[in-house]
Structure 1
Amino acid sequence: MDLSHPDKLLWPEAGVTKQGLLDHYAAVWPRMERFVVNRPLALLRAPDGIAGKQRFFQKHASPGMHEAIVKMADPEDGEELLYIKDFNGIAALVQIGVVEIHIWGCTIDAIDTPDQIVFDLDPDEGLDMNDVLAATLDVRRRLDELGLPNVVKTSGGKGFHVIVPLKPKADWKTVKTFAHDFAEAMEQSDPDKYTATLSKKARTGRIFIDYLRNARGSTTVAPYSSRAKPNATVSMPVTWPEVENGVGPADFSIGGKPLEKALKTADPWADFNKLRKALRG
C-alpha cells in the first residue's frame, strides 16, 4: 500500500519519517514476520510523531483502519482483537502512526496456550549498565539450570528481554505461575539486586524481574519493533556473546550502523522454533 504523507517526521530528533519506518520494517521483515503475524496486537500510536500531543495505546479497531489490520473476537469474552497477516498489515500500521508494536505471547489459533515466556529486566534509575548485563546473564544461567531454552533481545530502552520459546501446551495460569515463581526465586536468592514486586519503592536500587508479561492479554514489544524513544531505538534480537561483550539495551536504532551491520550477520534467533520446549506444570 502507498503511504500518505511519507515525509511526516515520527521521530523529529532522529529525523525518522513514516517512510523511514516502513523501510526499516521492509529490511527486518524476513526475520520479524514469524513473531508478529497472526498474533493479537496492542499498538502504541503517535499520529503526530512521538513529540506530538496524540500518543495512545490501542487494542481495538477504530474507524478508517485499513482492511490489512484484521479484527477477530476473543473466544473467551468476545472482546475485539487486532492482528495482521502479512507485510501489508505492517504498512497499514505505519500508515496510522504506530510507533510500537506489542504482541501477545500466543497466536490467534492457540490463544489459550502461550508459546513463549518473557522476562523483562527493568532496572531502577541510576543502576550501572554492568548490573543490567549481569542480571540478564543470571536469568540465562538459571534457565539453563532448569533445562529451558532461552534467547535475548534488547528492549530499546533500559533493559533486556529474555524469552523462553515454548511449545504451546501449558495454559496461561501455569506459565504465569512459573514466571512469578522464577522471578521470586531470584529476589529471594539476591534481595539486594532483584525484586519481583512492581512498586517503585521495591525497585529502589534493584532490577525488577518483570514476569507480568505472561498473563493472558498482556503484551511485550515485538522483536524488531521501533520504540517511542527520541533516538528511534529498536527492540533487537542479539546473541548471548553480544550480551557478554557489553551490548547496550538502546544500541540499535532505525537507520543506524549497528542495526545495519546486524542484519548482514546470521540471524541470532534463527533456531527459535526449533528450540521450543513444553513447560511442565
Structure 2
Amino acid sequence: MAQSPAVELEVRGRTVRVSSPDRVVFPDRGITKLDVVEYFLAVGDGVLGALLDRPTTLERWPKGVFEGARMATRQDSSGDAFYQKRVPQGAPGYVETSRIAFPSGRTADEVAPTELAVVAWAANLGTLTFHPWPVVRDDVDRPDQVRIDLDPQPGTDFADAARVAPHVRELLAEHGLEGTPKTSGGRGLHVFVPIEPAWTFVEARRATIAFGRELERRLPEQVTMRWWKEERGRKIFVDYNQMARDRTIASAYSIRSNPRATVSAPLTWDEVADAHPDDFDVTTMPARFADVGDLFAPLVAHAAPRYRIDSLLELADRQERDDGHGDLPYPPEYPKMPGEPKRVQPSKDRDRPR
C-alpha cells in the first residue's frame, strides 16, 4: 500500500509536517498518527504546561503499538520502541534543549519544550509518552515537584490505589502541602506537589521516603515501602525512587502504549474514588479537557503557590532518630550512594539473619 502524503499543520505560528498521517498507531482502535498529533493539539495547553521548560525523555513508538511490540533495553536495542534521552539529529531550530547529568556523570542535551509545536513535532516522530524531569532547565539540580507514585502490586489495581489516595491527601495537608492527582494511564495513581526549588534530588527523595513510611505506618495492610518486589505483597508500593535523579514519570496528558490508547488524566480529588483508567483515552480526553480545563495547571513551571518540604524533612529526621530508619536502596543503575543500605535482594543476601 502506498504511503499517504504528508500533511502540514499550523501550530501557533509554526508549520509542523506530519509524515504518513494515515499510518495506524493503535490497531485495536483504528487511531492513526494524525489522530495522535491532533489529540495533543486538542489538549495543547495542558500537555505543554506539563512539559514547559522541563528536560523531557521521549518514549517513541514509530511502528505503532501492535501485538508483540516491545521496548528496546540497554541489553537489547532491537526493540520496536525506545526512549530518546538526547535531542534527535535534525531537530528544527525551535526545539530547545536542556543539559542534564545522569547518575553515571555523563551528560545529555534533552528536549525541553517551550511551545506546542515541539509536542507536535515529537508526536510525528512516534512519541506517545513524554517523560519530563521534575526540574526546569534553568535549574536542573533542584526539583520543583515532589511526585508520589502509588504503584499497585500483583493482586491489586487502580481501585486499591484510589482507596489510599484520601490518606495521601490528608497526610500532605498535615505537612502544609497540596497535591494534584492523575491516573498513570495504567493501573497506578500519581500525586504531584509543586515545591520551591530549594532542595536537591537527595533531599526531595528523602522527603518522599519519609512521607511513604508514614503512610505505610498508618496503612500497614495497604501500603508498602519495600524496594524488593519479593517483599511487597498485595499492596500499593510508594515508589520513592521516582524522585531519584533521572527517574521520570509519564506526564499529564501523555498517551500510554496499550491497545486502548489510554492517557494520563488529571483528576479532582472528588473524582478519584470513582475513576477508572479506561475512562480516559485519546478519543475521550479532548472533550473532557474542553469541559474541565487543565486540572494540572498548578504544576506548570513557575506557577504559584509552591510549597516547602521542611516539615517532611523534619519527619525524616524523627524517623531516623526514633525508629532507626535511614536511607533505602537506589535504582540499580546508580553508583553506591552515601548512607545507602546494601543493594542486595533479600532472598540472595547471605548475611541476612534467617
Per the normalisation by structure 2, the TM-score is 0.74
Write out per-residue CA displacement over residues 23-57 of structure 1, whole angstroms, 9 at most, x where no aligned residue.
Answer: 11111112222220211111111110022451111
* Residue matched to 2:33: 18
* 1:150-229 mapped onto 2 (5 Å cutoff): 150-229=179-258
Higher RCO (C-alpha 8 Å, min separation 6): 1
* Residue matched to 2:18: 3
* Residue matched to 2:292: 265
Question: What percent identity do the matched residue pairs reach?
Answer: 30
Q: Does 1:117 align with 2:146?
A: yes
Measure how far apart 1:141 and its partner are.
Answer: 1.2
Measure how far apart 1:16 and its partner are.
Answer: 1.5
Measure how far apart 1:128 and its partner are.
Answer: 5.3
Q: Does 1:38 align with 2:53?
A: yes
* Residue matched to 2:333: none
* Residue matched to 1:55: 81
For 1:167 and 1:17, locate their aligned partners in 2 and report how far apart those are by CA, in whole Å.
Answer: 40
* Higher mean C-alpha displacement, 230-239 vs 27-36: 27-36
Contact 2:130 2:251 in 1 (8 A): yes
RMSD of Structure 2 on Structure 1 (CA):
2.0
For 1:71 and 1:274, locate their aligned partners in 2 and report how far apart those are by CA, in whole Å.
Answer: 24
Q: Which amino acid aligns with 1:255?
A: T
Closer/same/farther in 2, CA of residues 16 and 68 from structure 1, 3 Å limit: farther
Q: Which amino acid aligns with 1:188?
A: R
Corresponding residue SS for 1:267: coil
Measure how far apart 1:67 and its partner are.
Answer: 3.9
For 1:118 and 1:148, locate their aligned partners in 2 and report how far apart those are by CA, in whole Å.
Answer: 12
Q: Does 1:274 align with 2:304?
A: yes
* Residue matched to 2:328: none
* Residue matched to 1:97: 126
Closer/same/farther in 2, CA of residues 96 and 269 from structure 1, 3 Å limit: closer
For 2:96 and 2:264, locate their aligned partners in 1 and report how far apart those are by CA, in whole Å.
Answer: 24
Unaligned runs of 5+ in 2: 1-15, 70-78, 314-354
Measure how far apart 1:170 and its partner are.
Answer: 1.5
Task: Determine which structure has more spread, i.e. the larger CA radius of gyration.
Answer: 2
Contact 1:252 1:259 in 2 (8 A): no
For 1:73 and 1:132, locate their aligned partners in 2 and report how far apart those are by CA, in whole Å.
Answer: 35
The number of equivalent residue pairs is 279
For 2:279 and 2:229, locate their aligned partners in 1 and report how far apart those are by CA, in whole Å.
Answer: 26
For 2:101 and 2:247, locate their aligned partners in 1 and report how far apart those are by CA, in whole Å.
Answer: 16
Per the normalisation by structure 1, the TM-score is 0.91
Corresponding residue SS for 2:291: coil
* Residue matched to 1:134: 163
Closer/same/farther in 2, CA of residues 262 and 26 from structure 1, 3 Å limit: closer
* Residue matched to 2:329: none
Q: 247, 256, 268: which is aligned to 1:239? A: 268
